[in-house]
Structure 1
Amino acid sequence: MKLLVLALNSFYYSSCLFLQSRRLLSSVSTNQFKWNSTTSVIITNPTLVIMESCSTMSQLRQIQAHMTRTGLITHTFPVSRVLAFCALADGGDIRYAHVLFDQIEKPNTYMWNTMIRGYCKAEIPNFAFSFFRRMVGEHVEMDCRSFVFALKSCERFETVVESESVHCMVCKMGFESELLVRNGLIHFYADRGRLKLARKLFDESSLRDVVTWTSMIDGYASRNYSEEAMSLFKLMLSSGIEPNEVTFIALLSACSQKGQLSMGKSIHEFVEKKNKYCSLSLHNALLDMYVKCNSLMAARELFNKMESRDVFSWTSMVNGYAKCGDLESARELFDQTPEKNVVTWNALISGYSQNNKPVEAVKLFHEMIEAGMIPVEHTLVSVLSACGQLSFLNLGQWLLKYFINSRRTCLTVTLANAFIDMYAKCGCIDAATEIFNAMTKRDLVSWNSIIAAYATNGCARQAMNLFDQMVRSGFKPDDITFVSLLTACSHGGLVSAGREYFESMERNYGTEPKREHYSCMIDLLGRNGLLEEAYKLITNMPMEPCEAAWGSLLNACKIHGNVELAKLSAGNVLSLDPKDSGIYVLLANICAKEKGWGDVKMARSLMREKGVKKIPGRSLVEIEGEFLEFLVADESHPQTEEIYKVLNEIYFLTELEDYRCECDPPTMNLQNGDDS
């Protein structure tokens, strides 16, 4: 009779819980995390069936309470399911799992593995590895997954000591021949860049499956060894192993890195031939490969054929068009993107900034902020570049104050370099130096940026001193360093120092001079009146002179009044760029200065013949976040009358000040008795 009552009570509580949980689970939003539990056991117990649909810890605790009341929790399998949910489910709680684990009298291997895996998922590797060490110390029976999960925890350690100890235990306990464990070791070592050790394990494997091959291929691809990845793929096919989606994605990544379009196309053809269904991830990998290999037509064709697209698909296309300079198409796709993330915004902002559209970059940045997006490092670097191009110091200072000083964003080396460049282009050399001096870690770009800052702002000696500090700090200068140094010498009139840097480039640092360095030297010599030496250098260059070289010589001719050499230089520049209106005007001005009116007339008529029009000078001003562009004698602004009224007052005050200076009596130097 008592057994019957207990049975009825158990049935009653189970039924109540079942109905209550059904109502609870049915009310759960479909947007909440679901528990993707995996078990080979066929579950028939109604309580455990309900638990498999559990999505929150609140639901789990109710079910666990019922399991405790009925005694179901004392059985190994039910308690292992509760533990698995707490440790592995998106809505679980690893701390609760740890407390539960400590209450289990004799946890089995599955439970130990669950805790290691759970702490890996929670990104707490120390705790995960501590469970593995406890398994070793308490002589708990291990299986293949114990080692695989232990290796997973080692991925987040900076050293390889922990992984080596796992490897030693694998060999000691005789698991090295197990395919699952060997694949785990190959994947771990390949992922950490220890490719020789990974390849040794791969070559020693008597049995290989698609995971073995893919792990090794992915290891090569992720470390830019694309040729090795391709070679291994061909060997994989000849071995009769059918590649999977992960294999193709790894290979396409290798093609993207090396720009191997033909190989990427062949992989695409192979995929279409072997696979009737192509997942979104694989489609995106193909799209990314075409974009990075500068095959936008193929990318767009694939994009148009894709039945489903996500934010990555749209962003790839926006980025592709932006990088190739087709900003109109990039903006069109950007506006059509149904859901944008910060990478989508970055792609277009960067495209505007890198393609001399800084105003558009800044405007889009304001739109991004208004849309509630939080900028990341790449965003700020692009906007700072735009600020430098426009000399928008106020915006640059606001970015430093709002994002860096308020600790919303960490000042990385890359970001610090961008701030140095922005301040330098805005003429704030002291602020640039302050950022540089505050850097605890610097790279070559940091040194190049601050040297360039001093060079472009006419501080030649300081630039040279910084170069000496850079070399003493163990950094090897590159071609960009020498462009800045030669620019500094040119602005400072330091001919001897410039010659020494130019000659030492290849001799001392193994950097072969390029067109830019020759242009800098021609500018240096020309500015200092050494026109014959400059002309000799330009005619003896080991490569064809560029526009900048001839342009530098032409400008030097203007400074020193050499009309004949100016005509020669202008002719060479115009042969390279016949539509450059500035060259015609510069040549005409040089001839006019020397009263060569016939040559002036010839330059003007040549402009008309070629249909070249002088590009009017433009200015840009920012007023309360709005950018206003105007030309010389522009009357398009609605407040034109007031603007010109203020300008006239400024002119009047300037003339009045000049008049006062002329009328003031000269000061007397009483000591020497002379006019000062």
Structure 2
Amino acid sequence: MENCSSMAELKQIQAQMMRKGLIFHVFPVSRIIAFCALSNYGDMNYARLIFDHISNPNVYIWNTMIRGYSRAKNPLMGLSIFRKMVRDGVEMDGRSFVFALKAFGLFSGFERVGQFIVGYVNCARQVFDDCPVKDVVTWTAMIDGYVQRDSPDEALRVFDLMVCGGETVPNEVTMITLLSACALKGDLDLGRRMHCYIEKYDVKYTLNLMNALLDMYVKCGCLMTARRIFEEMECRDVFSWTSMVNGFAKQGELDMARKYFDEMPVKNVVSWNAMIAGYSQNNKPEDALDLFQGMVKGGLVPIEEATLVPVLSACAQSGCLDLGQWIHHHYIHQKRIEFGVSVGNALIDMYAKCGRIDMAEELFHEMPKRDLVSWNSLIIGYADHGNANMALMLFERMKDQCIKPDHITFIGILSACSHAGLVAKGREHFAGMQHKFGLEPKAEHYACMIDLLGRVGLIGEAYDMIRKMPMEPDEAAWGALLNACRMHGYADLGKFAADKLIDLNPEDSGTYVLLANLCATEKRWGEVRNVRSMMRGKGIRKTPGHSFIEVDGDFHEFSAADDSHPRSKEIYKLLKDIFVITNLEEDVVCSNQSIDCLQREDYLFLNNG
């Protein structure tokens, strides 16, 4: 066999082995497969033919087949042999996994070998630990496997073993993988340590490594260093630019994010997503929607979750029902994009916040798969629409299906009880959070209960609850109490609540307005003047009320005493006509009370035509 130099000679040797019965022994047949799979004169197809007729191949034969397919530039078949090895429960040795890793590296690129390990991580670690000789590819593959599995701590422990051994030096791919682990953890100190290792081991700064370094600093919130690295990069690609856009957008620095976005020489859909999400998550829905429409006009195809979820959130924030419905029809009904759970949840939230709770409900029942967010979105939608019974019924259905509620679920349930004045139900669910589900109530849940008790006039109980909160009461809690005092005329306690709110947020004009209204209701005119004087002294102006509507896809915003709209004279004339007709129908002369319903400036403007 050692002197065999062709397949013809091998087949003659095989015939002799068959005649003498040696072909049924594992060792001789393993030598035939080794020649076919690994020799320059071999034939991988013939090796497979023999392999398929072996009833119980040993680990050496399995390994030889994997290795042979990689050598024959057919790594996919090598991986197929490995998967069969796993399925059949064959006991591997240290080389099995190494050969499988290299096959995967040839098939998908060595920088992605960690994805292969994810599916076999327990088996992989056992084989990895038993492997007597590990090269940089083996170490990096194991590290990357843990990163891909969202186990950055394990990945970093493997790296520590690697550097402690002192025999293997990390390469570019190793460091990229480790920087991903640091970004996943959000651990800046660890990221800086990895940066030092790059310098220590003199790893070449390729574009991919620079991008990984940039991404790590961005995700760890260190934009100053990220910006310095970006400026020092001799070559940048779309990933480099998008990292900067994403970093500044997530920090709320939208002007800087937009500057980088506008300066990008080339943009892809991920770049657009980063900027759209930045606007949406920072309460700039109109900007998000404008950008999305620009993206669509540019011919880019949205990505299911990354694009549509922030766009639908912007529709929900701005009440842009028309665009939300168009997205639903164009991308989901016409099957341009897969209808995933995240998009379904965003659509439920959008329909509920845009006043179409019926559509939210219909969509919920149509969803092929639902998660906890789906249930929470509809429960909160029902609560916001004052439909407490439907919210509570859905909550019972949710429990019947063994879906465990979370803190957000109970915000919806307690809000529903508050809007409907269901005190007993509210108390029951508030107590059940901890007793039944092991959920410690948070400040938001206490605020809901204070609001519930206050709305029905149980002011004393509401105040007791705020005093007994295990955490410091926040603006929501004191605001709920102040509003309850305004509703039921508790001026002294209301003033106390207002003082607390002013301590927490002295710039919020709403607190002063609520307090002034409370004092006016109780005819405490001197205190009303004091509140107004306090506002003037602090330079605080009442935030004008505003609203906006959408007509044919265009937004129209209106503020109190505002005449900036190009058709404002027509609008005010129509308002005047409606106002006059209403008074004629009621046969009532315009009273001071009617004037108070509009701001004085508006009323004068109406009468001046």
Post-superposition shift, 1:131?
11
Aligned to 2:69: 146
Post-superposition shift, 1:654?
3.4
Change (3 A) 1:165 1:505: closer
Stretch deviating more after TM superposition (264-273 or 638-647):
638-647
Are 2:465 and 1:537 equivalent residues in the alignment?
yes
- State the SS of the aligned residue for 1:628: strand
Specify the code of the residue in structure 2 equivalent to 1:554.
L
Aligned to 1:137: 52
- State the SS of the aligned residue for 2:555: strand
Aligned to 1:585: 513
What are the residue-to-residue correspondences of 1:4-23 with 2, within 5 Å?
Answer: none
Question: Residues of 2 paired with 1:354 and 1:569: CA distance?
Answer: 31
Root-mean-square deviation (CA, aligned residues, Å) is 3.1
Partner residue of 1:275 out of 202, 223, 232:
202
- Percent of aligned pairs with the same amino acid: 49
- State the SS of the aligned residue for 1:627: strand
Question: Residues of 1 paired with 2:138 and 2:494: CA distance?
Answer: 68
Partner residue of 1:211 out of 116, 137, 140:
137
Post-superposition shift, 1:656?
4.3
Are the aligned partners of 1:189 and 1:198 in contact in 2 as well (CA < 8 Å)? no
Aligned to 1:102: none
Partner residue of 2:126 out of 190, 197, 200:
200
Partner residue of 1:343 out of 266, 270, 273:
270
- State the SS of the aligned residue for 1:633: coil
Question: Residues of 2 paired with 1:348 and 1:624: CA distance?
Answer: 25
Are the aligned partners of 2:495 and 2:515 in contact in 1 as well (CA < 8 Å)? yes
Post-superposition shift, 1:421?
0.3
5+ long unaligned stretches in structure 2: 1-5, 8-34, 55-60, 106-112, 589-609
Stretch deviating more after TM superposition (252-261 or 222-231):
222-231
Aligned to 2:156: 230
Post-superposition shift, 1:197?
1.9
Number of equivalences: 537
What are the residue-to-residue correspondences of 1:294-305 with 2, within 5 Å?
Answer: 294-305=221-232
Question: Residues of 2 paired with 1:483 and 1:360: CA distance?
Answer: 29
TM-score by length of 1: 0.74
- 1:18-77 Cα offsets, whole Å, 9 max, x none, are xxxxxxxxxxxxxxxxxxxxxxxxxxxxxxxxxxxxxxxxxxxxxxxxxxxxxxxxx99x
Change (3 A) 1:600 1:155: farther
- State the SS of the aligned residue for 1:621: strand
Aligned to 2:407: 479
- 1:109-157 Cα offsets, whole Å, 9 max, x none, are 5899x999xxxxxxxxxxxxx9996673278984614279887569799
Aligned to 1:162: 84
Specify the code of the residue in structure 2 equivalent to 1:300.
R
Are 2:487 and 1:556 equivalent residues in the alignment?
no
Question: Residues of 1 paired with 2:203 and 2:338: CA distance?
Answer: 46
Aligned to 1:654: 582
- State the SS of the aligned residue for 1:553: helix
- State the SS of the aligned residue for 1:620: strand
Are the aligned partners of 2:79 and 2:100 in contact in 1 as well (CA < 8 Å)? no
Partner residue of 2:567 out of 616, 639, 645:
639
Aligned to 2:527: 599
Question: Residues of 2 paired with 1:618 and 1:111: CA distance?
Answer: 81
Aligned to 2:240: 313
Change (3 A) 1:111 1:425: farther
- State the SS of the aligned residue for 1:338: coil
Question: Residues of 1 paired with 2:534 and 2:496: CA distance?
Answer: 15
Stretch deviating more after TM superposition (217-226 or 200-209):
217-226
Change (3 A) 1:221 1:489: same
Are 2:333 and 1:410 equivalent residues in the alignment?
no
Are the aligned partners of 1:189 and 1:195 in contact in 2 as well (CA < 8 Å)? no
Are the aligned partners of 1:151 and 1:184 in contact in 2 as well (CA < 8 Å)? yes
Partner residue of 1:619 out of 539, 544, 547:
547
Aligned to 1:221: 147
Are the aligned partners of 1:185 and 1:198 in contact in 2 as well (CA < 8 Å)? no
Are 2:571 and 1:571 equivalent residues in the alignment?
no
Partner residue of 1:465 out of 387, 393, 396:
393
Aligned to 1:496: 424
Are the aligned partners of 2:321 and 2:354 in contact in 1 as well (CA < 8 Å)? yes
5+ long unaligned stretches in structure 1: 1-74, 77-106, 117-129, 661-676
Task: Kindly indicate whether structure 1 or structure 2 has the higher relative contact order, using CA contacts under 8 Å at least 6 residues apart.
Answer: 2
What are the residue-to-residue correspondences of 1:275-294 with 2, within 5 Å?
Answer: 275=202, 277-294=204-221
TM-score by length of 2: 0.82
Post-superposition shift, 1:407?
1.3
Are the aligned partners of 1:522 and 1:537 in contact in 2 as well (CA < 8 Å)? yes
- 1:369-419 Cα offsets, whole Å, 9 max, x none, are 121111122211111111111111111111111111111112111111111
- State the SS of the aligned residue for 1:637: coil
Are the aligned partners of 2:289 and 2:314 in contact in 1 as well (CA < 8 Å)? yes
Are the aligned partners of 1:221 and 1:254 in contact in 2 as well (CA < 8 Å)? yes
Partner residue of 1:443 out of 360, 363, 371:
371
Aligned to 2:309: 381
Change (3 A) 1:286 1:167: farther
- 1:204-263 Cα offsets, whole Å, 9 max, x none, are 011111111111111122222222222221221121210011111111111111111011
Question: Residues of 2 paired with 1:206 and 1:337: CA distance?
Answer: 49
Question: Residues of 2 paired with 1:175 and 1:207: CA distance?
Answer: 8
Post-superposition shift, 1:592?
0.4
Aligned to 1:24: none
- State the SS of the aligned residue for 1:335: helix
Are the aligned partners of 1:151 and 1:166 in contact in 2 as well (CA < 8 Å)? no
Question: Residues of 2 paired with 1:131 and 1:485: CA distance?
Answer: 68
Aligned to 2:435: 507
